[in-house]
Amino acid sequence: LQPAAALAARLYVAQVFFLSGLTKLRAWDTTLALFADEYHVPLLPPALAAVAGTAGEIVLPVLLVLGFGGRFAALGLFVVNAVAVVSLAE
């Protein structure tokens, strides 16, 4: 039962991040505006932060589900989430 639970958890987390990335892609102008005005990502210009965040939300969940670099993908998603929390706290 543990392998099935681990797979279900990976699928759920991957779905949340992937759908968020798709939303950003569908409304790219809005995404750029949000990163410029609302999200204050430290150390990165807004356009680069938007591309990096969106790419992470699209690519890393796929890697997580496929099992390619699962720990790397999970760490990357943790970083995406941590940056989101830090950028909204300011």
Structure confidence at residue 87 (pLDDT) = 86
pLDDT of the chain, 90 residues: tens digit per residue: 999 999 999 999 999 999 999 999 999 999 999 999 998 888 899 999 999 999 999 999 999 999 888 899 999 999 999 998 988 776
Structure confidence at residue 70 (pLDDT) = 87
SS3 content of the chain, % helix, strand, coil (to 5): 85, 0, 15
Contact 55, 72 (CB under 8 A): no
In sequence order, the 6+-apart residues with CB closer than 8 A to the CB of 84 are: 39, 53
Structure confidence at residue 90 (pLDDT) = 67
